[in-house]
Structure 1
Amino acid sequence: MTPAARISAAIEVLADIEARRRPATEALKDWGLSHRFAGSKDRAAIASLVYDALRRKASATWVMGENTSRSVVLGMLRLQRGLGVEAIAALCSGERFAPEPLSADERERLEKADLSGAPAHVAGDFPDWIEPSLQGLFGGDLVAEMQALATRAPLDLRVNTLKVSSREEAHDALPHLGAVETPLSPLGLRIAPSEDGRGPAVQSEPEFLKGWIEIQDEGSQLVALLSGAKPGEQVVDLCAGGGGKTLALAAMMENHGQIYATDNDSRRLAPIHDRLARAGVRNVQVRTPRAKADAVTDLDGKMDCVLVDAPCTGVGTWRRNPDAKWRLRPGSLETRRKEQELVLDRAARLVKPGGRIVYITCSILAEENDEALSTFMERHDGFKPVPADKALEAAQLGHLKNLVRPTAHGLQLTPHRTGTDGFYAAILVRNP
């Protein structure tokens, strides 16, 4: 396919996403199935165009003056990819499979493309209704923070110390991937996003198959380290899902002690078994709920640490899922809040006196973070948050002190400040 034909395809896919209000992955998959002549490079290039357009949907609409799939793509080419007007006009020739030529108005708008004076939600490309929550956290950094959340994310890897002696050893085994050491996590390797948005097939690498590395954002690595899980402890990963943080905790604990991994949705636990085996983990019991019955009732009041990787809106992952921000609705936030209440109440019953709850979200919304913990502590006496600086020092992460945003009860990581996805973490200690 020609570059112009790829632009036309991206416009078509975006129109489908808008009309049917569905995830970009589904629309792209259907487009590929109905256009089997398109090769893998073509499909990857089209996906990259679609995701970049979704990243800049609000600002592209502002520049072009209308919210159509064509306008969003044209505005993105100018704002995100930095193409000049003539370069965009050359792609829109109207020839076979190419978009229609630029109108006089489109050309003028592209020439004058400027976000000066644009509202914060336009300049930062996010839904306007969440601005009050974000303003309270970011203040004058709001636009810069949200622009960082609209960029492409790198591919981060966590080195598994149960299988390899050091990060350097894993790094030296993967020179062809162009990985570099992550700046903040002592266990991470980072692969920069390619120009077309495609990443290497890490999961087919021998080192991945041997369990040396796992795919995990640096921010996720850091909040796992913040848990302070130690060899010999009794730990519950209450929302274990596919097991990413379970694996990180097991390595921290050096396979000593016990981790109980569970999730109220048994389907989410399906991948964890193969991952545990590949990683050489021996101190994890997977507790799969049956008929929605509680799988960890026998552990109440016995746990040193309860990890709550809470269900949330996922706002902090918008670099990877830019379409999700335009599907977010106030009702979705309220649903997540109710789920967070339930899982925090369950954690309170599990933790022993003197033990701790480690509460984590991949969100930057105060409603899901500090506010969720404030209402929890109103319902449950005897829990106190650990100040962010003390939590960082205890986890040997003092180098993050001037990078994270301390909050009332925890700390916030963001792409702008830490180069990670947007993660919130807080530690609540139960009175002895």
Structure 2
Amino acid sequence: MRLGGRLAGAIEVLADIETRKRPVADALKDWGLAHRFAGSGDRAAIGNIVYDALRMKLSHAWLMDDDSATALGYGVMLRQWNMTADALRGEFDGDKFAPEALSDSALNAFQSRNISDAPLHVQGDIPDWVQASFEEAFGESWLQQAQSLNERPTLDLRANTLKATREKVLKALDDAGAEKTLIARQGIRIPAGTGPSRLPNVTAELSFQKGWFEVQDEGSQIVADLAGAQEGEQVLDYCAGGGGKTLAMSASMNNKGQVHAFDADRKRLAPIIERLKRAGTRNVQVHDRAAGLNSFLGKFDRVLVDAPCTGTGTWRRRPDTKWRLTTRNLEERVEQQNDALKQAKAFVRPGGFLLYVTCSVLPQENERQVRHFCAENPEFSIQSALPQWDSLFGKAGKRPHSSDGDTITLTPASTDTDGFFFCAMQKSA
């Protein structure tokens, strides 16, 4: 397919998402099934256009004074893929599959408007009601933080030190342009690429099948390191999901001690079994029923609560969720987080640590949540995570954001990772 056909396909998908209010992955999958003539490169390019458009949906629409799928698709070409209107006309000339031309009114608006004149939440491409939360979390840098969530994400991997060194994995993935991450100690990064370029399918690599590495955002690797799991300890990953942090902690413990992985959602937990086998992990026990943990009450050295959240820190990867988020969703997540902390605290031994993590950047789910918990549970106190950051990653280089000098917030702007929040709370001895 030529660019015109790819843009037309992306516009179809964007219209489907808007009309049917459905996840972007489902819309792209259905489009591919209905257009089997499209090759893998075509589908990747269409996906890039759709995701790019959704990341900057508000600002594209404002600049063109038009929020239609067609305007958003052209917005990607003109703003993110750095093409000119004349170049597009030449590209589409004679292409019967090219989309309808951008309206004169939209093009005139685009050529005459300046994004700096737009409302601030439009410049940041976030819902207007979220702006106050960003301001509270980041102060004067909030707009930069919001805009950093509109960039394409990299593909990050974690070398599984139970089976291979980072250098060995880098060599195996040399053709993919793999490089060391700047912060995570076992991290590997493949750049995001531009335009229609697609990321490699690393899970098809023999080195992946051998268990040499896992796909895991650098931010997730960092918070797993900050959890501080040590050889011989008893650790509980209370909201383990697919097990990314469980696997990372197990590797850092060199298969010594025990990691117990629990999640109330069995479907989310299911992938962990195959991942554990591939990784060569021997010190992990998996629980899909809370009753299976009753004998461990008050016995764990560390309890990690990777709490359910709004996922605002992952907006680079899931931009469609940005526009479906509501105040009701936020309230529900805050309540779920509070419940998870209440349940998990019972498993911490005296002197042990309750470690709270979200992939959100909103203070309601982060700083406010842990302050509220400690106020209601005075046997727990927040321990500054910044000294631990320095000991693990050094004082030079990229630094996380901290609104209070104790907790840590990772963001694309500060650490070039997805957004994550980390707080360590110690139980009195």
Q: Deviations over 1:311-330 (max 9, x none)?
A: 10110011111111011111
Q: Deviations over 1:120-176 (max 9, x none)?
A: 211111111110010112222122111111000000110111112x32222122211
Moved more, 102-111 or 122-131: 102-111
Match of 1:398 in 2: 394
CA contact (8 A) 2:352 2:426 kept: yes
Say if 2:412 is the partner of 1:415: yes
CA contact (8 A) 2:235 2:300 kept: yes
SS of equivalent to 1:231: coil
State the AA in 1 paired with 2:410.
L
Say if 2:331 is the partner of 1:320: no
**What's the CA shift for 1:350?**
0.5
CA 1:52–1:426 in structure 2 vs 1: closer, same or farther (change >3 Å)? same
State the AA in 1 paired with 2:39.
G
**What's the CA shift for 1:95?**
5.4
- Looking at structure 2, the residues matched to 402 and 215 of structure 1 have their Cα atoms a distance apart, in angstroms, of 22
Q: Deviations over 1:279-327 (max 9, x none)?
A: 11100000112xxx53312111001000111110110011111111011
TM-score normalised by L of structure 2: 0.96
CA 1:167–1:305 in structure 2 vs 1: closer, same or farther (change >3 Å)? same
Q: Deviations over 1:401-426 (max 9, x none)?
A: 86111233411011011100001101
Match of 2:146 in 1: 146
Match of 1:179 in 2: 178
- Looking at structure 2, the residues matched to 123 and 138 of structure 1 have their Cα atoms a distance apart, in angstroms, of 16
Match of 1:132 in 2: 132
Match of 2:68 in 1: 68
Q: Deviations over 1:211-268 (max 9, x none)?
A: 1111111111111000110000001000111110000000111111111101011111
Match of 2:104 in 1: 104
Say if 2:162 is the partner of 1:162: yes
User: Which ranges of structure 1 fall in alignment gaps of 5 or more residues?
Assistant: none
Match of 1:278 in 2: 278
Superposition pairs for residues 25-424 of structure 1, below 5 Å?
25-91=25-91, 96-164=96-164, 166-195=165-194, 196-289=196-289, 293-393=290-390, 396-399=392-395, 403-408=399-404, 409-424=406-421
CA contact (8 A) 1:159 1:170 kept: yes
Moved more, 345-354 or 188-197: 188-197
CA RMSD of aligned residues (A): 1.6
Q: Deviations over 1:370-418 (max 9, x none)?
A: 1111121122121111113223245x23337861112334110110111
CA contact (8 A) 1:91 1:99 kept: no
**What's the CA shift for 1:92?**
5.7
State the AA in 2 paired with 1:186.
R
SS of equivalent to 1:214: strand
**What's the CA shift for 1:113?**
4.8
**What's the CA shift for 1:91?**
5.0
**What's the CA shift for 1:37?**
1.6
State the AA in 2 paired with 1:104.
D
**What's the CA shift for 1:100?**
1.9
CA 1:100–1:87 in structure 2 vs 1: closer, same or farther (change >3 Å)? same
State the AA in 1 paired with 2:403.
T
Q: Deviations over 1:41-86 (max 9, x none)?
A: 1111111111111011000001010211111112222221221121
- Looking at structure 2, the residues matched to 391 and 294 of structure 1 have their Cα atoms a distance apart, in angstroms, of 34
- Looking at structure 2, the residues matched to 249 and 312 of structure 1 have their Cα atoms a distance apart, in angstroms, of 21
SS of equivalent to 1:406: coil
- Looking at structure 1, the residues matched to 396 and 137 of structure 2 have their Cα atoms a distance apart, in angstroms, of 18
**What's the CA shift for 1:107?**
2.6
- Looking at structure 2, the residues matched to 355 and 246 of structure 1 have their Cα atoms a distance apart, in angstroms, of 18
CA 1:99–1:113 in structure 2 vs 1: closer, same or farther (change >3 Å)? farther
CA contact (8 A) 1:89 1:102 kept: no
State the AA in 2 paired with 1:170.
V
- Looking at structure 2, the residues matched to 106 and 345 of structure 1 have their Cα atoms a distance apart, in angstroms, of 52
- Looking at structure 1, the residues matched to 408 and 91 of structure 2 have their Cα atoms a distance apart, in angstroms, of 46
- Looking at structure 2, the residues matched to 343 and 219 of structure 1 have their Cα atoms a distance apart, in angstroms, of 22
CA contact (8 A) 2:398 2:414 kept: no
- Looking at structure 2, the residues matched to 297 and 133 of structure 1 have their Cα atoms a distance apart, in angstroms, of 38
- Looking at structure 2, the residues matched to 247 and 239 of structure 1 have their Cα atoms a distance apart, in angstroms, of 13
- Looking at structure 1, the residues matched to 33 and 398 of structure 2 have their Cα atoms a distance apart, in angstroms, of 48
User: Which ranges of structure 2 fall in alignment gaps of 5 or more residues?
Assistant: none
CA 1:200–1:25 in structure 2 vs 1: closer, same or farther (change >3 Å)? same
Superposition pairs for residues 16-31 of structure 1, below 5 Å?
16-31=16-31
The sequence identity of aligned pairs, in percent, is: 46
State the AA in 2 paired with 1:302.
K
CA contact (8 A) 1:61 1:72 kept: yes
Moved more, 262-271 or 100-109: 100-109
CA 1:330–1:163 in structure 2 vs 1: closer, same or farther (change >3 Å)? same
- Looking at structure 1, the residues matched to 113 and 160 of structure 2 have their Cα atoms a distance apart, in angstroms, of 47
**What's the CA shift for 1:361?**
0.6
State the AA in 2 paired with 1:44.
A
CA contact (8 A) 2:386 2:408 kept: no
The number of aligned residues is 427
SS of equivalent to 2:140: helix
State the AA in 1 paired with 2:143.
V
CA 1:414–1:23 in structure 2 vs 1: closer, same or farther (change >3 Å)? same
